[in-house]
A = this chain, B = another copy of it.
Amino acid sequence: MAELSRVSATIVDRRTARDCDAVAIASANIGPLAAVQTMVAFAPRAPIMVEGDSADHLFRIMTGVVKVHRALADGRCQITGFLFPGDLLGLAPEAVHRHGADAVGPVILSRFPRKKVEQLVDVSPLVARLLLRLAYDELNAAHEQMLLLGRKTAPEKVASFLIAMARRTGSDTLDLPMTRAEIADYLGLTIETVSRTLTQLRKAGLLRIYRHQIQILDRAEMGDLSEGN
C-alpha cells in the first residue's frame, strides 16, 4: 500500500463543507467502531487495495473519492463503484480481495482491524443491521449498474451517471473528481465515446461543460434519457 506518512495541510483544507457533513453523518452510524480507528492518507492515484491483498482492514472514506475496480488479464478494466466520504471499503468477508481500490484524488481514510468489526457483529445486532443494510444498498446499486452496462446506450449511460452524481451531491452543478478514462471504465465505454457523448448532450442544450465542471441544464430531459424514455 502506497501510504503517506503525513497528511498535507493543503489537502485537508481543500475539502468542502459537504464532505465534512457526510463524514459527520457516517460517524454517527458507525457508533462503537469509532474507538478503534486509525487515520491513513493516500496521494492521488495511489493504490489503496490491490487484487489479491489479504483483507484484514475495514476502511471508511473521510475525504476524497475512491474507485473500486476489477480487471481482466489483458488490462481491460471495469470500475464497479466510486466511494465517497462516509462510505465503507473492504467489508467483504473473503481472505483476499477480489478487487482493487485506488484513490481518485487525495484521500483520507480511517481504518479498523477487521477482527474488531467481526466481534462487534457478534455482540451488537445494531452493527449487524447496519452492515446488512449497507451491503444491500451496494447490491442494489450493483444491479442498477448491471442494467446500465448491459442494456443502455452511450447517451443513456452518461445521462444516468450524471443524474446519479447530481442526486448524491444534491446539486445540478457537478465538479467531477474523476477523469474521462475513469468515467469510461465505470460505464463500459471508451474515453472517446464519453467525450463525444458529453459534447453531443451539450450541443443538445442539456449540459454546460467546462472540464470537470458539468452543469445539468435540463434535469427532466436528462432524467428521461437515463431511464430510456
Question: In the assembly, how many copies of this chain are there?
Answer: 2
Instruction: List residues of chain B with CB within 8 A of the CB of A135.
Output: 132, 135-136, 139
Instruction: List residues of chain B with CB within 8 A of the CB of A13.
Output: none
**Residue among A71, A121, A150, A188 with the highest chain B CB neighbour number at 10 A:** A150
Instruction: List residues of chain B with CB within 8 A of the CB of A80.
Output: 143, 146-147
Residue A196 lies at the interface, judged by CB distance under 8 Å to chain B:
no
Stretch of A20-28, A41-49, A93-101 with 4 or more beta carbons under 8 angstroms from chain B: A93-101
Q: How many angstroms from the CA of A121 to the CA of B132 in the assembled complex?
A: 10
A: contact size bracket? 35 or more
Q: How many angstroms from the CA of A135 to the CA of B139 in the assembled complex?
A: 8
Instruction: List residues of chain B with CB within 8 A of the CB of A70.
Output: 143-144, 146-147
Q: How many angstroms from the CA of A144 to the CA of B51 in the assembled complex?
A: 13
Residue A149 lies at the interface, judged by CB distance under 8 Å to chain B:
yes
CB of A88, distance to nearest CB on chain B (Å): 12
Which of B94, B132, B150 contacts A188, CB < 8 Å? B150
